[in-house]
Amino acid sequence: MAVSPDDLSRPDTLTCPACGEANAAVLHTETAIPVNSCLLVDTEAEAIAFGRGDMAFALCADCGFAFNAAFDQKLAEYDQRYEETQQFSGRFVEFATDLARRWVVDYDLAGKRVLEVGCGKGEFLVMMADAGIGSGIGIDPGVHPERIDNAGHDLTWIPDFYSADYTHLEADAIVCRHTLEHIPDVADFMTRIRAAIGDQTDTVVLFELPDVQRILDEVAFWDIYYEHCSYFGAGSLARLFRRTGFEVLDVQREYDDQYLVIAARPSTTPAGGAPLPIEDDLEALRSGAAGFGPGYRSLIDRWSTRLAEAETSGERVVIWGSGSKGVSFLSNLGGGRHVDAAVDINPFKWGKFMAGTGHPIVGPDDLPAQPPDLVIVMNPIYTEEITAELASRGLHPVVEAL
């Protein structure tokens, strides 16, 4: 049950959704934040009036799982207005294409059938087909089959949530990328996946999701937002898999250590395999949690000062990245009143507005008409790509990354 941030003073009131122990404590709160960051919003007024909820970012001392104790699933919306794809970034496509290829090779999926739960816009399943899988099924309420070029592959798209209606679907591999962090009852979800596999113990299960260790260590408050109600480190992720009936084959960090990837198979033994060295992270998580509060206040002060100075000197400021990081960044900075616009390379976002703050979303080709003096990059991994985009248009502003 969701609770108010004002009612979270006793750690014993919080039960961990991953391990079930009542030993979680809140380390960070935010109130009245946008409940969706990636929905396409048509008008500034609609964006400013966007629905809001609270964040009570809690960490379980027993298993290391972090979660929003104030999350209310009724407030979250996922449908075809949800525009989360990163497919317009060459840097991201390079990473995803390589990951698809490695998974097909490493887990012998050539010619096999893959089910992707939470397939987004379907690009990754197409990449796996390009890498050699025989067929695939993608399930996601936000999938747009009309936007996907199957390129002759045997791929099926289901615009829906994964539920008991689809547990009959059989596959040699179940892929789930950047979806588990949107699920509040993670133990129930993984138990459902395990039950659907049944006695097909050669099925490989491949997940990818953000790493909470980096969020804590870097005090990346822009990576904490309402849709993400569940946050994993390497240890809490592996422990959840074992607890719900899987043997963990591998856990790695990817994409400049921003993401975790895990490979597992159904287990017929309770232990689910011996822990991997990467799972020994509870002390690191606790250390990161202890420093998050002071670090958060310091970063808010730093960026508030930086933006105020830019306004005083008459600089035009834009952020680059209109997705979840951008929404969280602007919301935490009091609405980002010193920021003029958000830039995005995804053409489906052009002409839309940022949830919660109402900033217009523009494309890179709009910038020469009103050249920015300062560009704040929402993800440092894209800094080189963004600098090149600016230079190709004759723009050379100051570029600073979060």
What pLDDT score does 272 carry? 65
pLDDT at 4 over 70: no
Chain centroid to Cα 356, Å, comes to 19
What pLDDT score does 11 carry? 44
DSSP helix/strand/coil, 140: coil
Are 244 and 190 in contact by the 8 Å Cβ rule? The answer is: yes
Any idea which of 146-155, 295-304, 315-324 has the lowest mean pLDDT? 146-155
Are 122 and 157 in contact by the 8 Å Cβ rule? The answer is: yes
Instruction: Name the pLDDT band for 271 (thresholds 50, 70, 90).
Output: low
Any idea which of 195-209, 257-271, 282-296 has the lowest mean pLDDT? 257-271
pLDDT at 8 over 50: no
Please report where in the chains the tokens 């963004």 appear, as a residue: 386
Instruction: Name the pLDDT band for 1 (thresholds 50, 70, 90).
Output: very low
As assigned by CATH, the class of the 304-401 domain is: alpha beta
What pLDDT score does 285 carry? 96
On the question of a common fold for 90-285 and 304-401, the answer reads yes
Using CA atoms, how far residue 308 sits from 73, 100, 303, 335, in Å, is 36, 44, 8, 13
What pLDDT score does 273 carry? 73
Residues in contact with 356: Cβ distance below 8 Å, sequence separation at least 6, in sequence order: 33, 34, 47, 48, 50, 52, 327, 330, 331, 335
Give the mean pLDDT of the chain: 95
Name the CATH superfamily for 90-285. Vaccinia Virus protein VP39 (3.40.50.150)
Instruction: Name the pLDDT band for 2 (thresholds 50, 70, 90).
Output: very low
Tens of pLDDT, residues 118-132: 999 999 999 999 999
What pLDDT score does 141 carry? 95
Are 391 and 400 in contact by the 8 Å Cβ rule? The answer is: no
Q: What phi and psi, each to the nearest 5 degrees, are found at residue 348?
A: -70, -15
Q: What are the extents of the domains in the chain?
A: 5-72, 90-285, 304-401
Tokens in use for 205? 């299960």
